Amino acid sequence: MKLRTLPLLLAALAAAGLTRFSAAEKPAAAPASPPFQNEPRSFAQPIRETPVGSSSRLGDRAFLGAPPPMPHTFAGDRDGRYCMECHARVARIEKRQSAIAPVPHAEFSQCQQCHVSGVNKTLAPFRENAFVGLDLPGKGTRAHAYAPPTIPHKTFMRDNCQSCHGPMGKQRIASPHPWRSQCQQCHVPDAAKNYDRPLPWEKLGGNL
């Protein structure tokens, strides 16, 4: 009980201007959540050990959830409206071309506002950067060996599971049953790894 009441005690102190909200000054521990914080949520998730430019499935992304840079050249720098000419399909355009992943979030039309050019892969950095980002989420959990695994990542902007898990996706995460289209009827988001938005019962804590 004592530990649990601490944050609210801090809240009262903070209201009187006595404390700073974050305990980030203690470098050893992760910063304690500011008591008023609007839903800071905690999830067990690995961080990326290798810096930018690794051979991980994250490619040149800075962290899991960052938009991947556009890996190929493009007819014109401002022709973003043509992206969907290829990226709306779930097929290879030509035999020898590598797979084209269909966009997982077709409702967003301004592709280039997030996906900047990533062609200059070997360009030296302007200044060195020491950022270490969130890594791939790992596997979902299963109730037993034959149960469908949960979804181990967030689902916002990942409406189309086939984008990554379809036949055009990477082998390691390809679905063994791509003909089934209603993914979420068996695979449910893992509440511990889906941080899209608070769920209605979240504020009840463990007392459901």
Partner 1 sequence: MQTNRREFLRQAALAFASSVLAGALPRNLGAATAEGADGLVWHKAPCRFCGTGCGVMVGVKDGRVVAVQGDLEAPVNRGLLCAKGYHAGVALYGKDRLTTPLIRKGGKLTPVSWDEAIDTIAKEVMRSPATFAFYGSGQWTICEGYVAMKFMKGGLGNNHVDPNARLCMASAVTGMISTYGVDEPSGCYDDFDVADTFILWGNNPAEMHPVLWSRIIDRRAKGQKVEVIDMGTRRTRSTEEADHYLEFIPQGDLAIANGICHLLVKSGRYDKAWVAKHCNFRKGGDADGEAMTFEEYAKWLETYTPEFVQKVAGIRPAQLQLLADRFAEPNRKIVSLWCMGMNQHTRGTWINNLVYNVHFLSGKFGKPGSTAFSLTGQPSACGTCREVGTLGHALPGGRLVANEDHRKQCEELWKLPAGRINAKPGHHAVAMFDALQKGELTGCWVQVTNPAQTMPNLNGLTSKLKERFLVVSDIYPTVTTDQATVVLPSAMWVEKNGMFGNSERRTQQWFKLINAPGDARDDVWQTIAVARKCYELGHPGMKDKNGDFLFTFKDAAGKVIELWKWDVFKNANADQLLFTEYREFTMMKKYFVAPYEELVKARGMRWPVVQDKATGVWRETPRRFVEGEDPFVEPGRGVDFYWGKLKDHKALIWARPYEAPPEVPDKEYPFWLCTGRVLEHWHTGTMTRRVPQLHRAMPKSYVELNPEDAARLNISTGDQLKIKSRRGELKLPAWINGRSTPARGSVFVPFFAEESLINLVTLEAHCPISKEPDYKKCAVSIAKA
Site for partner 1 in 137-196 (CB under 8 A): 154, 156-157, 195-196
Selected from 17, 94, 143, 146, the binder of partner 1 by CB under 8 A is 17
Check binding of 92 to partner 1 (CB under 8 A): no
Selected from 54, 56, 65, 140, the binder of partner 1 by CB under 8 A is 65
Check binding of 88 to partner 1 (CB under 8 A): no
Of 2-10, 95-103, 143-151, 163-171, the window that binds partner 1 (rule: CB under 8 A) is 2-10
Give dist(CA 83, CA 111) in Å, integer. Answer: 7
Q: Kindly calculate the radius of gyration of the chain based on its CA atoms and give it in whole angstroms.
A: 21
Please list, in sequence order, all residues whose beta carbon lies within 8 angstroms of the beta carbon of residue 86, skipping any fewer than 6 positions away.
93, 100
Of the two residues 88 and 99, which places its CB atom closer to partner 1 in the complex?
88
Check binding of 80 to partner 1 (CB under 8 A): yes
CA angle 185, 188, 192 (to 5 degrees): 175
Give dist(CA 94, CA 178) in Å, integer. Answer: 21
Give dist(CA 69, CA 71) in Å, integer. Answer: 6
Residues 43-62 that bind partner 1 (CB under 8 A): 43-45, 47-48, 52-53, 60-62
Selected from 69, 167, 178, 189, the binder of partner 1 by CB under 8 A is 69
With beta carbons less than 8 A apart as the criterion, state whether 133 and 67 touch. no
Selected from 83, 114, 174, 188, the binder of partner 1 by CB under 8 A is 114
Of 10-18, 144-152, 161-169, 170-178, the window that binds partner 1 (rule: CB under 8 A) is 10-18
Of 65-73, 94-102, 138-146, 158-166, the window that binds partner 1 (rule: CB under 8 A) is 65-73
Of the two residues 26 and 177, which places its CB atom closer to partner 1 in the complex?
26
Selected from 95, 96, 126, 143, the binder of partner 1 by CB under 8 A is 126
With beta carbons less than 8 A apart as the criterion, state whether 63 and 56 touch. no
With beta carbons less than 8 A apart as the criterion, state whether 155 and 105 touch. no
CA angle 67, 177, 57 (to 5 degrees): 30
